[in-house]
Amino acid sequence: MFDGESTEGWRAYNGSELPPGWIAKDGALTFDTELGLEQDYTGGKDIIYGAEEFDNFELYIEWKLPEGGNSGIFYHLKEGYDDPPEVSPEYQLIDDENYARIHDLTAYNKSLGYTEKPGGIKAVTTNCL
């Protein structure tokens, strides 16, 4: 899916081109925040979609996150929906050790009904269609 050198084969979820800011750098597909913020772009920048679909596959990934990072990989995702977590499982990639220290999760966790220690990372499950 990723050739290690280019962004070929990737585009925005529900879109026709790759959102600005996504680049291939040092053998990794990554988002350059400064580059992404420079562009006048309407639409989501955070979810990119592989242009090729697969029926059966083995997924092998290597990843790295910055300190406090939070990302994920949706799989078996079909386009045409507004909110991918509602229709697709996600493999969550998060810096468990530092995310809660860097980001205030209290309001978000309370909105989900967590009242005991609302500042920490909580498991969130969704029911996919």
Tell me what pLDDT residue 21 has: 87
* Position 34 in a domain: yes
Mean pLDDT over the full length of the chain: 84
* Position 4 in a domain: no
Total Cβ atoms within 10 A of residue 117 = 10
* Position 120 in a domain: no
Q: How far is CA 60 from CA 47, 73, 84, 89, in A?
A: 19, 12, 21, 16
108 pairs with which residues across the strands? none
Question: What's this model's pTM, rounded to 2 decimal places?
Answer: 0.71
* Position 56 in a domain: yes
* Position 18 in a domain: yes
Which residue range(s) make up the domain with 21?
Answer: 10-96
* Position 33 in a domain: yes
Total Cβ atoms within 10 A of residue 48 = 18
The number of domains in the chain is: 1
* Position 108 in a domain: no
The structure tokens 């300190």 sit at 67
* Position 69 in a domain: yes
Which are the contacts of 78, defined by CB distance < 8 A and separation ≥ 6?
A: 87, 88
Single out the residue of 16, 5, 126 nearest to residue 72, CA to CA: 126
Share of the chain above pLDDT 70, in %: 88
pLDDT in tens, 35-92: 766 666 666 667 889 888 888 889 888 888 889 888 889 988 888 988 888 889 988 8
pLDDT score of 127 more than 60:
no
